[in-house]
Structure 1
C-alpha cells in the first residue's frame, strides 16, 4: 500500500486559517467540539491532515465558503 501524501506547508496553513476563522467568530475549541463532535484542537495544531468533507463541514459551521476559506493560502 502506498503511503499517503502529505504537504506539511499546506496542512499548517489550513490549520492556521481554521484557528483564525474560529477566533474571529468568538468560538472556543470546546464550542466546535460540542456542536460538531470533532476535536478541532488536533486539526488546528496541524497534527492531522483534514479531509475535504471535514473542511466543508467546518466552513458550513463557520458560515464561510470554501473559496473564501482558501483565499490567500499559499503552499510554498
Structure 2
C-alpha cells in the first residue's frame, strides 16, 4: 500500500480529490475577500447585506435594478 492509498483509501479517485480541493480553495478565496476586484463600497455603489433589504429598497426606487455583488456576499444597485 502506497502513501496515496494510506491517506485517501484504496480505490480513491484522484480527479475528484483534486476537484474537491480546488473548489474549497476558490470558496475560501471568495469568502476571505482576497480576490483582487474592487469592492462596490469603494466605488460609492449602494450595497445591501441581505436580499430582503435590497428588495425593499428596489420597491421604493422604481426603475433601479439590484444584483449580486460579484465574488462576494450581498447585493448592490446595478449601474446603468
* Same fold per superposition (TM over 0.5): no
> Considering only CA atoms, is the larger Rg found in Structure 1 or Structure 2?
2
Q: Normalising by the residue count of structure 1, what TM-score does the alignment of the two structures yield?
A: 0.28
What is the TM-score when the length of structure 2 is the normalising length?
Answer: 0.27
Q: Point out the structure with the larger helix share.
A: 1
> Which structure exhibits the higher relative contact order, with contacts defined as CA atoms closer than 8 Å and separated by 6 or more residues?
1
